[in-house]
Amino acid sequence: MRLRARGPRVAPASGAGAGDARRLAPPGRNPFVHELRLGALRKAQMAFMTLTLFPIRLLLVLIAMLLAWPFTFFATLGSSEREPEPSPASWRKVVDVLLKAIMRAMWFAGGFHWLVVKGQRAPPSEAAILTLAPHSSYFDAIAVTMTMSSIVMKAESRNIPIWGSDSRENRLYSELCLRSSFFPFHSSKIMIFPEGTCTNRTCLITFKPGAFIPGVPVQPVVLRYPNKLVSVLKILWLTLCQFHNRVEIEFLPVYSPSDEEKKDPALYASNVRRVMAEALGVSVTDYTYDDCQLALAEGQLRLPADTCLLEFARLVRGLGLKPETLEKDLDKYSDRAQTQGGRRVGLPEFAEYLGVPISDALQDLFSLFDESGDGTMDPREYVVALSVVCRPSRTLDTVQLAFEMYGSQDGCVDEGALSSILKTALGVAELTVTDLFRAIDKEETGRITFADFRRFAEAFPDFAEDYLYPDQTRPESCPRTPPAPAPNGFCADFSPENSGVGRKPFRKKLD
């Protein structure tokens, strides 16, 4: 399995880079996991604050939220049914002022005694949409309450008090178009977190294109939390236990899209993301939450840095097939591949096998398994790769499924079959399994069963590092030894300067 060169018709999903078919490298540190290590002194401080300051602050915050809820309820009553107005009513302006005062008091009670604001907020006539990043915590709502913007949230967030009552996701597109195009002088703005989920601020993940579909100017807004304790797993407790919390809100210049970006929302989103990343001084990655779960999974077959499985997962999603929903179909795919007995198939038969039409995305997926370039592939390899993507931490389940497809009637496989299985499971083109096979095949029969493999894996849980790629556990791109072993061999401190992938400049605007 290998990533073969593809023509210029293939562009990255996020639009990053003109004609650049390569993806930005996956981060070595999972951007969706918060890590915190407290020293003894800091732990003692947290214990003291928990008994003294925390309950008082929590009570004040809850009181402020209870005071604000009636205003938000009546202000948004029936808002999901009515169309946006060119100018809000006077009573709504009064409610906004009162809400802003209550929210500022709440943030003050929570330790955000003053806010550092940089840059100038553009009027709605110049940019009706604010794009905010990184989205890392509940406290990002500080920017929302400061601007009193209409916030777009996930549908499941509508039941959250105060924030959920002002959600507009169910009519996002229509309101964006109305406010930005037909009502350009509307007094309020729409604020969107284009990442669509929370990260730990180590990088900016792929921006969703929703805010950029209308093709109108947007104003990027970046957030910085100098305090290290903000945005961790127990965020509310740890933040309220600090005497003072700092936050910086910077309004960047309005970004006006080019004609090319207006036609391609993904390109527009990618270029805005890079502008925001440069302002924050962080890297960008085109990998999503699911990709990072795969890349950093703690399975026994930890993926090497040059794996093709991340690209495989992207191409599968590009076909409209979500790996997370395909796990129930693994047995069906396995049975069909097993009945073919290793017979290689062409692109039309592969399309029929998946039940999808022939397309560019399917050809790209097919090319991953067409190593010889003769226009054929082994469907069993697709099943093995799909199994890894669907359940990255369940190594033995994938290997057992592969043994069922590759094994003979007695369930045994030889060294060649084991090589094919593990190459596909790791997403690499070359792999030497001779030492591993000999270690498992103690009786030197030239064949092993899944029971043999399982016993060996249970006895030697680090067999992949010891037998498959002992000299490649850390890629050469890592500039220094990481403080702790990084899963799957990725650099612990990922940045564009430390990675040779994804360093091409983004596509320039065409004015």
pLDDT for position 188: 59
- Considering the domain architecture, whether residues 302 and 216 belong to the same structural domain is answered as no
pLDDT for position 500: 36
- Considering the domain architecture, whether residues 312 and 431 belong to the same structural domain is answered as yes
- Considering the domain architecture, whether residues 246 and 361 belong to the same structural domain is answered as no
pLDDT for position 511: 34
Q: Is the pLDDT of residue 202 over 60?
A: yes
- Residues of the domain holding 422: 298-468
Mean pLDDT in residue range 420-444: 89
> Which CATH number covers residue 199?
3.40.1130
pLDDT for position 250: 93
To the nearest whole percent, how much of the chain has pLDDT over 90? 21
- Count CB atoms within 10 A of the CB of residue 480: 9
Residue 492 is assigned to a structural domain of this protein: no
Residue 35 is assigned to a structural domain of this protein: no
Residue 3 is assigned to a structural domain of this protein: no
**pTM above the 0.85 mark?**
no
The better pLDDT of the pair 332, 73 is held by 332
Specify the range with the lowest mean pLDDT, choosing from 103-117, 236-250, 390-404, 469-483: 469-483
Per-residue pLDDT band at 174 (split at 50, 70, 90): very low
Q: Is the pLDDT of residue 475 over 50?
A: no
Q: Is the pLDDT of residue 291 over 80?
A: no
Q: Can you say whether the dihedral through the CA atoms of 45, 50, 56, 58 is positive or negative?
A: positive
Residue 392 is assigned to a structural domain of this protein: yes
Per-residue pLDDT band at 441 (split at 50, 70, 90): very high
Residue 110 is assigned to a structural domain of this protein: yes
Q: Is the pLDDT of residue 83 over 60?
A: no
Q: Is the pLDDT of residue 13 over 70?
A: no
29-82 confidence digits (pLDDT tens): 556 666 666 778 878 887 888 888 888 888 998 898 888 888 777 766 655 555
Q: Is the pLDDT of residue 110 over 90?
A: no
Q: Estimate to the nearest angstrom the gap between the alpha carbon of 371 and the chain centroid.
A: 29
Residue 123 is assigned to a structural domain of this protein: yes
Single-letter residue type at 370: D
Residue 94 is assigned to a structural domain of this protein: yes
To the nearest whole percent, how much of the chain has pLDDT over 70? 70
Q: Take residue 69 and report the two structure tokens written for it.
A: 């809820």
The better pLDDT of the pair 388, 148 is held by 388
Q: Is the pLDDT of residue 491 over 50?
A: no
- Considering the domain architecture, whether residues 272 and 159 belong to the same structural domain is answered as yes
Q: Is the pLDDT of residue 184 over 80?
A: no
The last residue of a domain, from among 222, 253, 284:
284
> 261-286: b or e for each residue (b if 16 or more CB lie within 10 Å)?
bbebbbbbbbbbbbbbbebbebbbbb
Per-residue pLDDT band at 326 (split at 50, 70, 90): confident
Residue 361 phi, psi (nearest 5): -65, -40
Q: Can you say whether the dihedral through the CA atoms of 200, 65, 173, 271 is positive or negative?
A: negative
- Considering the domain architecture, whether residues 255 and 312 belong to the same structural domain is answered as no
- Considering the domain architecture, whether residues 311 and 407 belong to the same structural domain is answered as yes
Q: Which residues 6+ apart lie within 8 Å of 152 measured at CB?
A: 167, 168, 169, 172, 190, 191, 192, 193, 210, 211
Residue 398 phi, psi (nearest 5): -65, -45
- Considering the domain architecture, whether residues 315 and 424 belong to the same structural domain is answered as yes
Q: How many domains does the chain have?
A: 2
Per-residue pLDDT band at 100 (split at 50, 70, 90): confident
Q: Is the pLDDT of residue 281 over 50?
A: yes
- Considering the domain architecture, whether residues 363 and 331 belong to the same structural domain is answered as yes
- Considering the domain architecture, whether residues 151 and 268 belong to the same structural domain is answered as yes
- Considering the domain architecture, whether residues 356 and 212 belong to the same structural domain is answered as no
How big is the CA angle at 172 (ends 166 and 174), to the nearest 5 degrees?
125
Mean pLDDT in residue range 245-264: 91
Peptide bond into 123 cis (omega under 30): no
The better pLDDT of the pair 464, 438 is held by 438
- Considering the domain architecture, whether residues 462 and 386 belong to the same structural domain is answered as yes
Please provide the DSSP assignment of 183-237 as one string: -TT-SS-EEE-TT-S---SSEE-PPPGGGGTT---EEEEEEE--STTSSSTTHHH
Q: How far apart are CA 258 and CA 362, in angstroms?
A: 31
- Considering the domain architecture, whether residues 242 and 192 belong to the same structural domain is answered as yes
Q: What is the mean pLDDT of the chain?
A: 75
Residue 308 is assigned to a structural domain of this protein: yes
